[in-house]
């Protein structure tokens, strides 16, 4: 049973990495028409960008990273970073509220419940600044669900900490998105995250078996 669970977890990580890398190549191939649509339809372009980033934060962390270079070339670094922050923050708040309101049954349908439960032990006492720091490195959906399920932090405090923590990452990614080799950098970053996640899972499994 344990071996089956480990295999399933590794397969899931590989599938997520494959989806993210595929998203990079797809967006790169269609960057010009996507950019033209956003440029010609200001309202709908911004609306769809925000919506996709909200979905990203709720169920598919990282899937919209390839869109950042497109957004930067249309709106510039500052506006693209602000739009990315707004989308990610909104999605994180939705995930938090879903977990707080409907609990485990819904979270199980939206993300890996085992990942959420495994992170429960790492919840610190000083939540506000810990959320700010964690937002720089951890997948948004897991953090949101963990805090919604297992803490008593208020919605306004969580919203402020989330926005504060996500803003620097959005600006760094917007800067990267302006570089000539932006898609190569994003692909490399996805690969590094996938390897890091694989090592974390393998180490956790090794500790359990030992």
**Per-residue pLDDT at 117:** 65
Mean pLDDT of the chain, nearest integer: 78
* Torsion sign across C-alpha atoms 91, 55, 171, 132: positive
CA 133 vs CA 127, 138, 165: distances in Å: 10, 9, 6
Among the ranges 27-31, 93-97, 201-205, which has the highest mean pLDDT value?
93-97
Position 139 pLDDT exceeds 90: no
pLDDT tens figures, 91-126: 999 988 888 877 777 666 666 666 666 666 666 666
Concatenate the DSSP letters of all residues of 113-131 into one string: HHHHHHGGGG--SSHHHHH
User: Cα–Cα–Cα angle for 109, 111, 115, nearest 5°?
Assistant: 130
Q: Give the global pTM.
A: 0.75
Please state the rounded mean pLDDT for residues 7-18. Answer: 64
**Per-residue pLDDT at 1:** 46
Q: What are phi and psi of 125, to 5 degrees?
A: -80, -45
Between 5-9, 19-23, 118-122, 171-175, the lowest mean confidence (pLDDT) is in 5-9
Which pLDDT band, with edges at 50, 70 and 90, does 24 fall under? confident
More confident residue, 181 or 4: 181
pLDDT tens figures, 45-86: 999 999 999 988 887 777 788 888 899 989 999 999 999 999
CA 30 vs CA 25, 93, 113, 208: distances in Å: 9, 30, 35, 45
**Per-residue pLDDT at 97:** 86
Comparing CA positions, the residue from 179, 135, 143, 83 lying closest to residue 187 is: 179
Please state the rounded mean pLDDT for residues 24-48. Answer: 85
Contact of 163 with 85, CB cutoff 8 Å: yes
């Amino acid at each position: 049973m344990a071996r089956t669970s480990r295999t399933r977890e590794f397969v899931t990580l590989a599938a997520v990495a494959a989806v993210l890398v595929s998203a990079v190549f797809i967006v790169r191939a269609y960057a010009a028409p996507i950019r033209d649509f956003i440029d010609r339809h200001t309202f709908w372009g911004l609306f769809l960008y925000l919506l996709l980033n909200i979905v990203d934060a709720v169920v598919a962390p990282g899937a919209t990273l390839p869109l950042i270079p497109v957004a930067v070339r249309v709106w510039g670094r500052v506006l693209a970073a602000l739009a990315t922050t707004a989308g990610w923050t909104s999605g994180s708040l939705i995930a938090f509220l879903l977990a707080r309101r409907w609990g485990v049954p819904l979270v199980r349908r939206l993300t890996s419940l085992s990942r959420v439960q495994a992170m429960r032990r790492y919840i610190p006492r000083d939540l506000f600044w810990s959320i700010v720091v964690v937002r720089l490195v951890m997948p948004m959906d897991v953090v949101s669900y963990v805090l919604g399920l297992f803490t008593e932090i208020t919605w306004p405090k969580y919203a402020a900490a989330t926005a504060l923590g996500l803003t620097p990452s959005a600006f760094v990614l917007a800067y990267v998105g302006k570089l000539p080799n932006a898609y190569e950098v994003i692909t490399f970053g996805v690969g590094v995250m996938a390897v890091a996640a694989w090592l974390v899972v393998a180490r956790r499994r090794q500790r359990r078996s030992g």
